[in-house]
Amino acid sequence: MNESGRNIRPGGERNYLGVAVPRPRVAFLELTSCEGCQLQILNREAGLFDFLDLVEIADFREVMTERSEDYEIAFVEGCISRDDEVERLRSARERASQLVAFGSCACFGGVNQLVNRIGGHGRAGKVVYGDFPVDARGVSEPVSSFVQVDLFIYGCPVRKEEVEKIVTDLVLGRPVVYPSYPLCMECKAEENICLFDLGEPCLGPVTMAGCGAWCPGNRVGCWGCRGPARDANMEQLFAVMERHGFPADMVMERLECFGGFNRYLDRGSTGTG
């Protein structure tokens, strides 16, 4: 038995704690993104072979030249910013029995969606490229704006340990359960000093947990890349920020960054919802 609890019998049959485990064919696909979430899969070498033992890779441009369009699960990184990406996404949706929005760009639009708040790609392209033609749609949008998404894996970048757990749940047919509590719970569990006490703004009180308080653990305030926690109290967040001397525009800058809080901001409300 290896560290993940899986056995490989002499005949090559894989099982998990004695239960036969299929190896679904998966594809990692990228749209408009930095591809950092895909690189995260490769960054933790200690668990890489266990992860690859769970699945059969059909398409993963970061690590292999062979490609196949025969896959069951599509992990899609990045947002939609071009028309050709819409067609690629819809094609992946037709092929895959399960489509996973992989990382903040796919889930919410990510950093790319900030262009929407300054007039879209038309204006941004004019400022950056002048009259040089740019192949871009008007705005950047998450993949759920165009196809049905079966599962979301949050983060910028995603956390390798969480991806491994979610993929294990998928392979075994177990339900994927997201944390219902905010990041502050994990931060306290890690015995971190509250960043408010260190003079650093942080969205931990309203951001979904699951990353292990990655940024606060390194003395960097949360920017909300995982989106809102269940029952996020936005009104109280602004009150806490104000009490610690952080202006509302600083809070808004963080809330707008990854797009996860747009459902609160776009309607001009800071209340719960």
The mean pLDDT value for 3-16 works out to 47
User: Which class is 6-172 in CATH?
Assistant: alpha beta
In whole numbers, what is the pLDDT of the chain averaged over residues? 88
Q: What are the tokens at 81?
A: 């910013």
Q: What are the tokens at 2?
A: 């290896």
Render pLDDT for 16-30 as a digit per residue (tens, 0 to 9).
556 667 889 999 999
Render pLDDT for 157-198 as a digit per residue (tens, 0 to 9).
999 889 989 988 888 888 999 999 999 999 999 999 999 999
Q: What is the pLDDT of residue 171?
A: 84
Q: What is the pLDDT of residue 152?
A: 97
Counting residues of the chain whose pLDDT is more than 90, the rounded percentage is 69
Q: What are the tokens at 136?
A: 């871009």
Query: How far, in Å, CA of 56 to CA of 66, rounded?
Result: 13
CA separation, residue 204 to residues 138, 233, 237, 259 (Å):
32, 11, 9, 16
Q: How many residues does the chain have?
A: 273
Q: Check if the beta carbon of residue 40 is closer than 8 Å to that of residue 158.
A: yes
Work out whether the CA dihedral 45, 50, 55, 57 comes out positive or negative. Answer: positive
Neighbour tally for 195: CB within 10 Å: 19
Q: What are the tokens at 257?
A: 């960054």
pTM of the model: 0.86
Answer whether residue 273 shows pLDDT above 70: no
Which part of the chain has CATH 3.40.50.700? 6-172
The CA radius of gyration of the chain, in Å to the nearest whole number, is: 20
Among residues 7, 143, 145, 168, which one has the least CA distance to residue 75? 143
- By mean pLDDT, which of 104-118, 162-176, 197-211 is the weakest? 162-176
β-strands 14-16, 6-8: how paired? antiparallel
Compute, in degrees rounded to 10, the torsion defined by CA atoms 37, 56, 31, 166.
-50
CA angle 176, 114, 204 (to 5 degrees): 50
Q: At residue 243, what are phi and psi to the nearest 5 degrees? A: -60, -30
Provide the pLDDT confidence category of residue 13 given band limits of 50, 70 and 90.
low
When mean pLDDT is compared over 44-48, 159-163, 268-272, the highest value belongs to 159-163
